[in-house]
Amino acid sequence: MSRLSADVAVVRGSFELDVSLAVSTGEVVGVLGSNGAGKSTLLGVLAGLHLPSRGEIVLGERTLSSPDGSVPAYRRRVGLLSQQALLFPHLSAIDNVAFGPRSTGAGRRAARETAERWLAEVDASTLADRKPAQLSGGQAQRVAIARALACDPELLLLDEPFAALDVDATPAIRSLLRRVVRATGVTTLMVTHDVLDAVVLADRIVVLDAGRVVESGTTTEVLARPRSAFAARIAGLDLVPGQSCADGLKTDEGTLVAGTHPDPVDDGERAVALFAPASVAVFRDEPGGSPRTALPVRLAAMEPHGELIRLRAAPRPGGPDWLEGLAADVTPAAVAELGVEPGEEVWFAVKAAEVTVHPAGR
């Protein structure tokens, strides 16, 4: 477990990746970007599978790559978990997990004990003697998580770890990964194009576009108030932080945001409620009716957003800070009908069915 600092460039034909980033000890950083943004290239360079064209990578006290030379992948203690589990097909699940410890010098018995411990950690003890061909995608990915962590890596790289899973298997594996990554405190860099992965796993987000870092900040900041056009396109979601509760999420000062829980999350666990600005309705007076959350806000700004108009909220005097920047996308006709101006007090309402609550943060 160490601090990572990387300042690297990779040139491949006309594509150039030029990234400088740091991940603190035990921090989980999400790298967001569309396909071709250079995310996987970045991970390959950090893992030592590709050589950077120039630059320096430092992990803890060790320089992994510099103009003077490069530490080979197998001496880096950098673990990599990809979309595909890539379990060795000729080894059983437990031998796959024991592979890392065995390769780094542990005895047969010690490696097996480590492997058993990690299989238990990912709830896969019953799969120990199965061959990879006999495992489902989700089961294989559990074993792959155990295998990556059983080597006790100083840095864990996650390359779209849920992209190849069934939709049904994703939530369970995502919360499992969140749990083990938090429990080990391993410094982690995850690349993904799915905002939800970043919300659930990452402390901080770096947005990569065309090989450059265009934005970085805490997950909530970047996703709720994206500054780059690219981040706005992939994110632009309304986020409300708080604690998970039976009916949805309770904010720190006690507001209930009604919603559903697609990922397993315990009551009282830190979480965020997510909803799309287009699912927010705006009223002059407090609305009643179907199970929905109505938030009293002050209208801060109105801006065109495609064919809709995006209304930005701010807290009313004495109201909670998290209302700042909350967005509602409504039609021009609805705005005309409401007849509201920035500065006026309105209500933002969202139905429980439109809100999902996910575990997030520490």
Partner 1 sequence: MSRVPRFLWLPAALAWLLVAVPIVGLVVRVDLSNFFSLVTSEAALSALWLSLKTGLATMVLCLLFGGPLAVVLARSQLPGLPFIRSVVLLPLVLPPVVGGLTLLFLLGRTGPIGGPLYDNFGITIPFSTTAVVLAQTFVAMPFLVVSLEGSLRTAGERYEAVAATLGASPLTTLRRVTIPVVLPGLVSGSVLAFARALGEFGATITFAGSLQGTTRTLPLLIYLQSQDDIDGAVAMSLVLVVIAIVVILVTRTRDVR
Which residues of the shown chain bind partner 1 in the complex (CB under 8 A)?
47-49, 72-80, 82, 84, 86, 88-91, 99-100, 103-104, 147-148, 151
Nearest approach in angstroms of CB 104 to partner 1 is 4
If the CB atoms of residues 147 and 261 are measured against partner 1, the closer one turns out to be 147
Q: How far is the CB of 121 from partner 1 (least distance, A)?
A: 17
Residue among 145, 139, 241 at smallest CA distance from 186: 145
Taking the least distance from each CB to partner 1, the nearer of 78 and 94 is 78
**Cα dihedral across residues 147, 149, 153, 156: positive or negative:** positive
Smallest distance, Å, CB 214 to partner 1? 28
Tokens read off for 115: 């492997």
Please state the closest distance from residue 77 (CB atom) to partner 1, in A.
Answer: 7
Distances (CA, A) of 247 to 154, 200, 233, 260: 39, 19, 30, 7
CA angle (264, 270, 275) in 5-degree steps: 75
- Comparing CB distances to partner 1, the nearer of 15 and 74 is 74
Least CB distance to partner 1 at residue 59 (A): 13
| DSSP element (H, E) containing 100 | helix 93-103
Nearer residue to partner 1 within complex by CB, 116 or 152? 152
DSSP string covering 239-265, please? Answer: EEEEEEETTEEE-TT--EEE-B-SS--
91 vs 256, which CB is nearer to partner 1? 91
Angstrom distance (rounded) from CA 297 to CA 299: 6
Distance between CA atoms of residues 323 and 315, nearest Å: 5
User: Cβ 279 to partner 1, closest distance in Å?
Assistant: 41
Q: Which helix (H) or strand (E) holds 206?
A: strand 204-209
Nearer to partner 1, 111 or 274 (CB): 111
Smallest separation, CB 41 to partner 1 (Å): 14
Pair type for strands 292-305 and 345-351: antiparallel
Comparison of 148 and 249: residue with beta carbon closer to partner 1 = 148
Q: Choose between 159 and 354: whose C-beta lies nearer to partner 1.
A: 159
Nearest approach in angstroms of CB 44 to partner 1 is 8
**Which residues make Cβ contacts (< 8 Å) with residue 268, sequence separation at least 6?**
243, 244, 245
**Total count of residues recorded for the chain:** 362
Nearer to partner 1 by Cβ, of 124 and 196: the residue is 124
- Which strands form 281-283's sheet, in the order they lie side by side? 281-283, 345-351, 292-305, 308-314, 327-330
Q: Which residues contact 215 (CB under 8 A, 6 or more apart)?
A: 205, 206, 207, 222, 226, 227, 228, 230, 231
Q: Shortest gap between Cβ of 98 and partner 1 (angstroms)?
A: 10
Among 270, 247, 237, 275, CA closest to 356? 275
For the chain, how are helix, strand and coil distributed in percent, rounded to 5? 30, 35, 35
